[in-house]
Amino acid sequence: MRVLEVTDLQVELLTGTSVVRAVDGVSFHIDEGETVTIIGESGSGKSTTAMAILRLLPDDLAVISGEARIAGQDVTGTRTVIDKLRGRAVALIPQDPMTALNPIRTIGRQMTEAVRIKHPDLNKAEAKARALSLMEQVHIRNPAKQFDAYPHQLSGGMLQRVLIAMAVSTDADLIIADEPTSALDVTVQAGILDLLLELQEQTGIAILLITHDLGVARLMSDRVHVMKSGAFVEGGPVTDVVDHPQHPYTQKLLGAIPELGPWEDPGVTAPLVKEASHG
Ligand SMILES: Nc1ncnc2c1ncn2[C@@H]1O[C@H](COP(=O)(O)OP(=O)(O)O)[C@@H](O)[C@H]1O
Ligand SMILES: [Mg+2]
């Protein structure tokens, strides 16, 4: 099933007197169960692409053209389409889990609210039970205790697990994860990536992953698109792009992480696992 189809997406950002074409004619698709990654340097337009698809850019800042179909429906036209799909067919995992939750509401309250988007008929006890089971599913230890906690009482890694649980609660076909581990300690990054892989295996959810980290892209992706100055310079199966980068920009990105072992090495996750055990 085709979960996302983006065709010639353009985003112009209106900044005072100037116009920045942050996304300059980007096309790609994601099928069920796939992880497709956009990789590129900071400022290359990755987040703008994601935010345009989710229609989270203010209308007075961003002019969007082209097409982005989620579950077959074009979300670039009227906002009512994405308003119905967001939190249902598509869910966002944000970059910074520390600021994504409401600081003055408990984890439990925010979890049950998320649960009720998909299941508005659940009563309070049922919604709580569903929230607790989701917290277990994302391996939050002692969910009953964390349920009553406030965001500042949880670590960044635990908060990201809460946000992933919320995304899972929507039963979405597509998760958009914008640098989901960049704000986290290297010791907890691997656990979050593992969790995403595990959830994808269980549910077949498609993932649009955004990262500047080629190690993350290599671990997670089926296909990658390399983004530079708003456009894709190359793309394809992750092994092709990593082993035979055609564009000098990709070669430069690859050259920036010389410490990675060969792709075929079955221990490709080993450095991450090793880091994860430090703490
Ligand atoms: N709120 C904004 N106002 C004006 N320009 C922005 C804004 N957000 C991003 N940009 C510009 O859009 C371009 C792409 O940014 P972004 O999508 O955030 O890149 P990435 O996520 O790849 O780091 C950059 O040139 C950036 O300066
Ligand atoms: Mg970004």
Residues 6+ apart with CB under 8 A from 225: 26, 28, 36, 37, 38, 39, 232, 234, 235
Give the whole-angstrom CA distance, residue 41 versus residue 228. 7
In short, whether 43's Cβ falls inside 6 Å of ligand 1 is yes
Give the Cα separation of 62 and 55 in Å (integer). 10
CB 130 within 8 A of CB 169: yes
- How confident is the model at residue 275, as a pLDDT? 39
Which of 38, 47, 213 maximizes ligand 1 atoms within 8 Å of its Cβ, making it the mutation to test the pocket?
A: 47
Ligand minimally distant from the alpha carbon of residue 182: 2
> In angstroms, what CA-CA distances link 41 with 105, 149, 175, 212?
35, 36, 22, 6
> Is the CB of residue 151 below 6 angstroms from any atom belonging to ligand 1?
no
- Among 10, 13, 208, which is best to mutate for testing ligand 1, by the most ligand atoms less than 8 A from CB? 13
Q: What is the pLDDT of residue 3?
A: 96
Q: Give, for all 279 residues of the chain, the pLDDT tens digit.
A: 999 999 999 999 998 889 999 999 999 999 999 999 999 999 999 999 999 999 999 988 999 999 999 989 999 888 899 888 887 889 999 888 889 999 999 999 999 999 998 899 999 999 999 999 999 999 999 999 999 999 999 999 999 999 999 999 988 999 999 999 988 888 899 999 999 999 999 999 999 999 998 889 999 999 999 999 999 999 999 999 988 889 999 988 887 654 444 544 444 444 443 334 343
Query: Is the Cβ atom of 255 under 6 angstroms away from ligand 1?
Result: no
Sequence-distant (6+) residues with CB within 8 A of 190 are 269, 272, 273, 275, 276
Q: Is the CB of 47 under 6 A from ligand 1?
A: yes
Buried b (16+ CB within 10 A) or exposed e, 245-274: beeebbeebbeeeeeeeeeeeeeebeebee
Domains and CATH numbers, the chain: 1-89+181-199+206-279 (3.40.50.300), 94-171 (no CATH)
Q: What atom in ligand 1 is closest to the CA of residue 15?
A: 4
Determine the pLDDT at residue 257. 55
Instruction: Give the atom of ligand 1 at the shortest distance from the alpha carbon of 23.
Output: 14
Nearest to 171 by CA among 215, 218, 133, 117: 117
